[in-house]
Amino acid sequence: MNNLSLIISIAALTISGATFWLTRLKKGIVKMTRPTIIFFGPDGGGERHNKIFIRTLLYSTSDRGQYLQNMFIRLQRGESVQNFNVWVYDNNGSLVRGSGLFVNKSGVSCNHHFLLPKDGSGYPFLSGDYILQVFIETVDEIPRMIFEQKLHLTKQQQEQMTSKTAGTYFDWAPNTQNYFSHVDTKPKKDKELLDIITQLTDDKK
């Protein structure tokens, strides 16, 4: 009887210790949900300032959480690869330059804007097949890809985006498990994002 009680106690202690390690001590990893919307096109700065926009939830697999110090998108079309490495996200209703975002198990849901670097010469969204990859960089770690998606931009969408300064939206349809794209000829201009673009590009217009 004493041996049985001892075995039960050891088993309970082991389970408690394992649970504490998994929930409190284990670092875990940062993941993201599939974006409900992906946007290719211009923003308030005009057609020279193309960007990629996504709406998603970032979360950690552990209660401990992690600090996200950078995030960027790599877009590939054929042999052409472009990094959109200027990260801006909404913080309590205001747009801020991305840095030091704490992500725990509950997650952080917000809009993320990815712009071209200041020294970039611009990036035209041409028709064709794209591979979109989302990377994150946590403290003391190298950038790691957490999401990848194939997208297709039609010739008609490219022409509409060019002639009307429009943007293409890719909306996720859970019933078909696909993204459906459409062109919006009047992309919403965001003054706060325009101000950030102006600062990054020294645009005096």
130: CATH: 2.60.40.10
Look at residue 195 and tell me whether its pLDDT is greater than 70. Answer: no
Look at residue 196 and tell me whether its pLDDT is greater than 70. Answer: no
In a domain, 122, yes or no: yes
Q: What percent of the chain has pLDDT over 70?
A: 74
Q: Structure tokens of 72? A: 């960027």
CA distance 73 to 69: 14
In a domain, 35, yes or no: yes
| Alpha carbon distances (Å) from 199 to 63, 193, 202 | 37, 10, 5
In a domain, 168, yes or no: yes
pLDDT in tens, 3-43: 667 666 676 667 665 555 555 555 789 999 999 999 999 87
Token pair 């590009």 is found at 201
More confident residue, 97 or 127: 127
In a domain, 52, yes or no: yes
In a domain, 19, yes or no: no
| Alpha carbon distances (Å) from 48 to 68, 85, 133, 148 | 29, 16, 22, 26
Note whether 105 and 59 are within 8 A (CB): yes
Number of domains in the chain: 1
Going 108 to 113 to 117 to 120, the CA torsion angle's sign is: positive
pLDDT in tens, 85-115: 999 998 777 888 887 899 998 899 999 999 9
In a domain, 173, yes or no: yes
**What's the pTM value of the predicted model, to 2 decimals?**
0.79
Note the pLDDT of residue 93.
Answer: 75
Which helix (H) or strand (E) covers residue 13, if one does? helix 2-20
Note the pLDDT of residue 204.
Answer: 41
Highest-confidence segment of 15-29, 54-68, 91-105, 169-183: 169-183
Note the pLDDT of residue 45.
Answer: 47
Question: What domain range includes position 118?
Answer: 28-201
What's the mean pLDDT when you consider all of the chain?
A: 82
- The mean per-residue pLDDT over the stretch 40-63 comes to 82
CA distance 56 to 147: 11
Q: What SS3 state is found at 179?
A: strand
